[in-house]
Structure 1
Amino acid sequence: MDAQRLKDNFAQVAQHGDAVALFFYSDLFLRNPRLREMFPVGMSHQRDRLLGALGRIVSQVDNLPDLVPFVQQLGRDHRKFGVEALHYPEVGASLVATLRYYSGPSWSEELARDWTDAYNLLSKVMIEAAHEDASQRPSWWNAQIVAHERRRFDMAVMRVLPDRPFAYQPGQAVSLEVPARMRMWRYYSMANAPRPDNTLDFHVQLIDGGPVSPVLVRALSVGDWIKLGPPIGTMTYDERSGRDVLLVAGSTGLAPLKAILEQIDARPNPPRVHLFFGARYVDGLYDLDELQKMAARAPWLTVIPAVSDHDPGPAAERGTLADVIGQFGMWQNHDAYVCGSPAMVEATVARLRQMGLSDDRIRTDKYADA
């Protein structure tokens, strides 16, 4: 298997953009009509996810230590869609057909062999990971909403109770499915550390045009049921580092950082923590009161709100999170955790690097449209 040949070929194919995923799924469903019911009615988000996953896999095809954990997680996560070992050859046949079509005259027997070998290896890793996962936990959990509070017209905080124990680490996320949007799984981070009563909190902001978030914010209420996929994510707290902590949260990017904050709060000797919580407007600081109450009883915690798009007066600092953290200190000796929109995360990480914080001390998560 020639890794560079795979990369060059995928770069050529990827120039055709969304047409690649459209061809792939059309071929897959024509060959296997029974598979169509495993996917949502609207496929645009699914096509984006396919291209993103393929791009990441190909870029790391010669870096197995980083690639294998990602592929294993794909295998575990696909259990909730009902994917079984018998489906993998069918997907592989459509993938190769798609690559052949968009490669045109550059397609060769060598490329066909490389792609087939690579896919067979990846599918083996996914199947083994799914099989091991099936011996330890269900494909999904049913969860009932036990509290639902609208913090703003477009934002809600809800609490759910899974029907079975749900083990996870603070900072991780989980995919949610609502009955009104079947098979449209979207990721949200738990906003609390694990509790004895097994309840989970989620912070949801309505995304204009998103199929799932409007249902979560406006249509669901106490007593309704949703589904939870398995927890994923690596933005988890390193309890062994001994360093002070910098948390930078944009809007509902606060959720996983609040879970980490609760984890730190439970330690016998918490490190010094600075939490910067930002939004465009003051009313976007939807959880500030609770954070300030926590800071009032926890001398190790400092909470600094920031507003970027208008003058907040004394309620918060003025500026983007990237600018505000630059005004409040030097963070070279901290561990940083950053979560928010892709633009906010990229700007904040760039500023931290400029200030001398090394990449191995920066953990990030970017929430996606839902």
Structure 2
Amino acid sequence: MQNERAIALIRAGFKSVQAAEDGPDRLARSFFAHLFAQNPDFRTLFPVSMDQLRRHFILALGYIFDNLDKTDRVEPFLEQLGRDHRKHAITGAHFRAGQSALIAAFRGFVGNEVWTEEVEAAWADTLDAVSCSMTVAADNDELPPYWGATVVEHHRVLDDLAIIRLKVDASIPYYPGQYVSVRIPQRPNLWRYLSPAIPSNPQGEIEFHVRRVSGGWVSPAMVSEVSVGDRWAISPPLGGMSIDRNSPEDVLMIAGGTGIAPLRAQIMGMALRSTNPRVHLFVSGVYPCDLYDIETLWQISLSNPWLTVIPVTEDYEDPWWHSGPTRELPWGMHRQLYGRISTVVTQFGSWADRQIQISGSPSMVRTTIYALRRNGTPMEHVQHDPL
């Protein structure tokens, strides 16, 4: 995207932020302070609590700066980022204002001695290219910023986990394996990324699996406060894992908890086709009760011999505080395996001849990727959603 010298200056400057005590948080706070001071009307576009937004802002900057010399990575990311911001009613003018605020924030962070004319030119040119990519993608997207949807079912399958089904006002054109962001009336201006657990259909039916995150702002409300009839907003689809049906390689899927959702949607989509690659699906949880969707997956496998479902838990029994019934595995299913999912999967080898998808919590995905890499798995075979 930029020349090597400019990229080196940008990366060196951002590393100085990352190395400083509370540097990323201070830079993010300074950025939003400059943005709102220069554009007071922008404040209404953002949630009251900015903590999560500041963290995401720094993570996005890190990814962009790390990949400035990899156009095939950074351009799709920026285009997706631009389109995703439309749900906040943000346009190209907002991106340009953000560019100005970030330059002011970084100049204040490093001081005038470091902020030379060459550094300023590198930041100005780079951020101009970044905001331009986001603006073009946002302004040329033909999909609506979001769709309205009505909650039609809310099942509390565990104390901290709910399956929520909605009817969307118009069908959302997503592919199995993609994800969307949603906004609920209980938490206005806060959006949460979720993966649909079923393929898109003309009736506009959609299903999400939501686990309560300790200290989270949105997921506790989704699990405990959402009611039938609530109106949600759902943004256009983003990213997404997919299976290359033209590849001779079979498929390994590794799910942790509600990470089963995007993998399940793909499997359901595959079940509509006559021929498919073999799929080994490892479904994991800490306790047996965490295998909340195992019966559905087993039923799909009965009529689709290309699918093998392997249940994995870290503990043999449910915790004492679990209030539901003990979950029994369906008769005839692959025997249950025990241990951390990363350890269990790699006991079978490197899986180097497979297309691999991993879905779950960020810590589960990182641990599993590390175990696969250490076991000799080519990383170009591995897919996962952004962490």
Into which bin does the TM-score normalised by the smaller protein fall? Answer: over 0.9
Structure 1 residue 111 displacement after superposition: 1.0
**AA partner of residue 7 (structure 1):** R
Structure 1 residue 330 displacement after superposition: 5.6
In structure 1, distance between residues paired with 2:14 and 2:70: 16
In structure 2, distance between residues paired with 1:82 and 1:311: 48
The aligned residue for residue 146 of structure 1 is 152
Task: Indicate the SS of the match to 1:156.
Answer: strand
In structure 1, distance between residues paired with 2:15 and 2:346: 38
1:46–1:18 CA distance, 2 compared to 1 (3 A): same
> Out of 332, 341, 346, which is 1:321 matched to?
341
> Out of 22, 38, 57, which is 1:50 matched to?
57
Task: Indicate the SS of the match to 2:275.
Answer: coil
Structure 1 residue 360 displacement after superposition: 1.9
| Structure number having the greater helix percentage | 1
Task: Indicate the SS of the match to 1:207.
Answer: coil
Structure 1 residue 351 displacement after superposition: 2.9
Structure 1 residue 97 displacement after superposition: 0.7
In structure 2, distance between residues paired with 1:309 and 1:107: 55
In structure 1, distance between residues paired with 2:40 and 2:375: 55
Q: Deviations over 1:178-212 (max 9, x none)?
A: 11211111100011122232211110001111111
In structure 2, distance between residues paired with 1:239 and 1:117: 41
Is 1:118 the equivalent of 2:126?
Answer: yes
> Out of 23, 29, 37, which is 1:22 matched to?
29
Q: Deviations over 1:296-341 (max 9, x none)?
A: 2222211111111345898521111112223346622221111111
> Percent identical across equivalent pairs?
37
The aligned residue for residue 11 of structure 2 is 7
The aligned residue for residue 36 of structure 1 is 43
> Out of 174, 196, 200, which is 2:180 matched to?
174
In structure 2, distance between residues paired with 1:47 and 1:83: 17
Structure 1 residue 343 displacement after superposition: 2.1
Unaligned runs of 5+ in 1: none
Q: Is the 8 A contact 2:95 2:134 kept in 1?
A: no
**AA partner of residue 226 (structure 2):** L
In structure 1, distance between residues paired with 2:346 and 2:55: 35
Structure 1 residue 349 displacement after superposition: 2.1
**AA partner of residue 363 (structure 2):** A
The aligned residue for residue 383 of structure 2 is 363
Is 1:353 the equivalent of 2:361?
Answer: no
Is 1:287 the equivalent of 2:293?
Answer: yes
In structure 2, distance between residues paired with 1:30 and 1:229: 29
The aligned residue for residue 251 of structure 1 is 257
In structure 1, distance between residues paired with 2:240 and 2:328: 36
In structure 1, distance between residues paired with 2:306 and 2:316: 30
In structure 2, distance between residues paired with 1:248 and 1:222: 32
**AA partner of residue 134 (structure 2):** M
Structure 1 residue 118 displacement after superposition: 1.0
Q: Is the 8 A contact 1:339 1:366 kept in 2?
A: no
Q: Is the 8 A contact 1:340 1:366 kept in 2?
A: no
In structure 2, distance between residues paired with 1:347 and 1:55: 21
In structure 2, distance between residues paired with 1:21 and 1:205: 28
Structure 1 residue 346 displacement after superposition: 2.1
Q: Is the 8 A contact 2:17 2:27 kept in 1?
A: yes
Q: Is the 8 A contact 2:279 2:307 kept in 1?
A: yes
In structure 2, distance between residues paired with 1:276 and 1:114: 47
How many pairs does the alignment contain?
365
Cα RMSD of the aligned pairs, angstroms, is 1.8
**With structure 1 as the length reference, what TM-score do the two structures score?**
0.94
In structure 2, distance between residues paired with 1:3 and 1:242: 39
Q: Is the 8 A contact 1:29 1:36 kept in 2?
A: yes
Task: Indicate the SS of the match to 1:227.
Answer: strand
**With structure 2 as the length reference, what TM-score do the two structures score?**
0.90
The aligned residue for residue 76 of structure 1 is 83
Q: Deviations over 1:226-272 (max 9, x none)?
A: 11111111312222213211111000000000011112212211221
Is 1:205 the equivalent of 2:211?
Answer: yes
Q: Is the 8 A contact 2:253 2:357 kept in 1?
A: yes
Structure 1 residue 290 displacement after superposition: 1.1
> Out of 55, 67, 78, which is 1:60 matched to?
67
> Out of 101, 106, 109, which is 2:114 matched to?
106
Structure 1 residue 361 displacement after superposition: 1.5
Q: Is the 8 A contact 2:171 2:200 kept in 1?
A: no
The aligned residue for residue 324 of structure 2 is none
> Out of 232, 235, 239, which is 2:241 matched to?
235
